[in-house]
Structure 1
Amino acid sequence: MTSAPSFHVLSGQVIAALLATGHDEVVGVVRDTYRMHGRRETNNPDSYFLRFDDKPNARIIALPAAVRGESPVSGIKWIASYPDNIRSNLQRASATLLLNDYETGYPVACLEASQISAARTAASAVLAADLLSRGQAGGQEGGRRGGRLAVVGAGVIARTILDYFRAQGWRFDSLAVHDLNEADAERLRDVAPSLAGERWVAASLEEAVRGASHVVLATTAATPYIHDATLLHAGQVILNVSLRDLAPELLLAACNVFDDVEHCLKAATSPHLAEQLTGGRDFVAGTLADVMDGTLVPDRDKPIVFSPFGLGVLDIAVGRHLLARAVAGGHTRRIDDFFPDTARW
């Protein structure tokens, strides 16, 4: 019998413990992966959507990807988005991540991935805030000081973004939270008291966003609802995490930075609608990798909008990092007989 690879399972409890002490490491993995993606050292095909006739707002998404480099790995994230879950106090998203050996294709690990997905999203957003805020008046090196942080949408993603802002040493003068569910907004307001001086629940979108130095959009909106151009101002950094909040006309007057242009310009995102509206891509400034390598300097005479579609390569890279930590610490459930005899004959 030919020796088969071991198969590891990482539970949500293990993932939570690893992420709780690994904010800087996750940001570093995301930064490095963006650079690799910019150098075309990754494979990131289109996501695949499973939809349901009787559940029109629900979907399960498959994100296959591969990261090469010194420790190549491939895999797939399988993430369900069921917005109606929140009515019964269930999280909207649940996910698993399957990692494969790059050389043989054999699966090597299954990881609980809703936390990985939230962490890589938050790390991406906070990294973008850092890079896109540099050089602003009053900003410190790395841009880790802001006026008002406005957060629209008070769910798990927003909570994780605030956690990463705190862990990366950010400090804001104030924090305004707006959500259609006031109780959720109140909970999010109280998550990170050290992040901002004054913190309040904004009664309206306008109250939260107008005049804010940084804006986080983290809702489940399916179509744009922000149409008022006066809410945006030059140099304002908008983290368009949920992708469908901003009217396409607003993007045409902004400096638009993406994680990946081709991926963002699809699936009826705000950037996709802007492309359809104009018939072109002149509104696209470039990618975050372009900012990192110095080929793109954000136009601070416009609002700066970062639109991350959410690349599968980030999940794969963060999953690989967490698997290595878990194996080194003996924190995985190892299944040595997961595979049958792997010999062909």
Structure 2
Amino acid sequence: MTTTVPPFAVIPGAQVQQALQGHEKQVMEVVEATYRLHGAGDSVNPPSYFLRFPDRPSSRIIALPASIGGQSRVDGIKWISSFPDNVAAGIPRASAVLILNDHDTGYPFACLESSIISATRTAASAALAADWLSRGRERPTRVGFFGVGLIARYIHTFLAGTGWSFDEVGVFDLSADSAAGFRGYLEQSGTTGRITLHESAEDLIRSSDLVVFATIAGKPHVTDTSWFDHNPLVLHVSLRDLAPEIVLASTNIVDDVEHCLKADTSPHLAEQLTGNRDFLQGTLDDVMAGRVSLPTDRPVVFSPFGLGVLDLAVGKYVYDQVGRAGDLNVIDDFFHELRRYG
């Protein structure tokens, strides 16, 4: 059997977006299947590596290596930067590339623009959790977005694209410009629910059955457990918004226990406070498999660390879509020195 080096393709953001836009249900199915593969142990997902800078403490670049089995059978790595100061300069905070590696040879076969993939897999994960975690309880009709950047927009798009509709949509952001911009997006998206820009975080949370946290907070800033007395479903996407006391008063579901309980996330702080992990009910895969049932008399908090296997799965979906359309931009002779002795 002859093994060949796979052709190397570059997939820019426009092609990535074209492959994903309007395919929310299909992408959510990919994410669900990947969570199940990961839960069954058919994946490798090492800890993320954080590159930080003494002269730029708010900025970081993160490496997420991973490997998944199943039908995808692909390895790779996401290399994603978060530079919050970019926003003031008029460019997005996050930028990323995703490298896909051939399962058999290890050769990279694609480089994809990945800020869109990253936002998409995050939003698909959040929408999937909203679906599964609302089963067995009254389905939320009032959604509140706390932090309204790109991720919040993608999460709303995925909720709308997978059958959700809301009577009320609440918006809260420390930036008035961001809140106004998100309201404009909501109006253009055809949202039928009443849109409210809230003056305070408390007002937003108390008036929402589904709360989406998508901030850049580095440490907890929501501390009052009474704000959650109405037992909402909370998509804690940004991971560091809730004080440990709120975590401990809630039913907690994560995407991966070991990944989520590190790097001073809110669940990690709760573990440090109590010295145990008893406050965790399980993973989203546990919920989907019926191993965990959720009480209705407490808030339910989903804290997803964000797994590299999801980036790989969505990236491979994009690659396959572009390939089927015959639009792969292959870089001829990218791998040049292929003879062992010249």
Cα offset for 1:3? 4.9
Please give the secondary structure, in 2, of the residue aligned with 1:109: strand
Please give the secondary structure, in 2, of the residue aligned with 1:90: coil
Residue 239 of structure 1 is matched in structure 2 by 235
CA–CA separation in structure 2 for the residues paired with 1:43 and 1:197? 42
Match runs of 1:321-332 below 5 Å: 321-332=317-328
Residue 115 of structure 2 is matched in structure 1 by 114
Residue 315 of structure 1 is matched in structure 2 by 311
Kept after mapping to 1: 8 A contact 2:12/2:112:
yes
Kept after mapping to 1: 8 A contact 2:96/2:113:
yes
Match runs of 1:126-275 below 5 Å: 126-137=127-138, 139=139, 146-193=140-187, 194-233=190-229, 235-275=231-271
Q: Structure 1 stretch 194-203 or stretch 20-29: which is displaced more?
A: 194-203
Q: Structure 1 stretch 182-191 or stretch 63-72: which is displaced more?
A: 182-191
Residue 279 of structure 2 is matched in structure 1 by 283
Cα offset for 1:196? 4.5
Instruction: Note the residue ranges of structure 1 that are not aligned, 5 or more in a row.
Output: 140-145
Kept after mapping to 2: 8 A contact 1:3/1:342:
no
Kept after mapping to 2: 8 A contact 1:226/1:247:
yes
Kept after mapping to 1: 8 A contact 2:170/2:195:
yes
Please give the secondary structure, in 1, of the residue aligned with 2:291: coil
- One-letter amino acid of the counterpart of residue 227, structure 2: L
Question: What's the TM-score, normalizing by structure 2?
Answer: 0.96
CA–CA separation in structure 2 for the residues paired with 1:221 and 1:196? 30
CA–CA separation in structure 1 for the residues paired with 2:137 and 2:95? 38
CA–CA separation in structure 2 for the residues paired with 1:77 and 1:47? 10
Kept after mapping to 1: 8 A contact 2:30/2:313:
yes
Q: Structure 1 stretch 291-300 or stretch 233-242: which is displaced more?
A: 233-242
Question: What's the TM-score, normalizing by structure 1?
Answer: 0.95
Please give the secondary structure, in 1, of the residue aligned with 2:104: coil
- One-letter amino acid of the counterpart of residue 177, structure 1: V
Cα offset for 1:186? 1.4
Cα offset for 1:8? 0.7
CA–CA separation in structure 1 for the residues paired with 2:198 and 2:104? 52
Residue 143 of structure 1 is matched in structure 2 by none
Kept after mapping to 2: 8 A contact 1:211/1:233:
no
Kept after mapping to 2: 8 A contact 1:166/1:192:
no
Kept after mapping to 2: 8 A contact 1:33/1:313:
yes
- One-letter amino acid of the counterpart of residue 305, structure 2: F
Q: How many residues align?
A: 338
Kept after mapping to 1: 8 A contact 2:219/2:241:
yes
CA–CA separation in structure 2 for the residues paired with 1:118 and 1:110? 17
Residue 336 of structure 1 is matched in structure 2 by 332
CA–CA separation in structure 2 for the residues paired with 1:182 and 1:136? 34
Kept after mapping to 1: 8 A contact 2:206/2:230:
no
- One-letter amino acid of the counterpart of residue 29, structure 1: V
CA–CA separation in structure 2 for the residues paired with 1:240 and 1:218? 7
Cα offset for 1:307? 0.1
The CA RMSD over aligned residues, in Å, is: 1.4
Identity of aligned residues (%): 50
Kept after mapping to 2: 8 A contact 1:211/1:232:
no
Cα offset for 1:189? 2.0
Q: CA offsets, 1:49-107, max 9 Å, x none?
A: 11111000000000000001133100000000001111112111000000000111000
Please give the secondary structure, in 1, of the residue aligned with 2:144: strand
CA–CA separation in structure 1 for the residues paired with 2:211 and 2:293? 20
Q: CA offsets, 1:278-298, max 9 Å, x none?
A: 000010000000000000111
Please give the secondary structure, in 1, of the residue aligned with 2:79: strand
Kept after mapping to 2: 8 A contact 1:175/1:196:
no
Please give the secondary structure, in 2, of the residue aligned with 1:77: strand
Cα offset for 1:179? 0.3
Cα offset for 1:263? 0.4
Residue 142 of structure 1 is matched in structure 2 by none
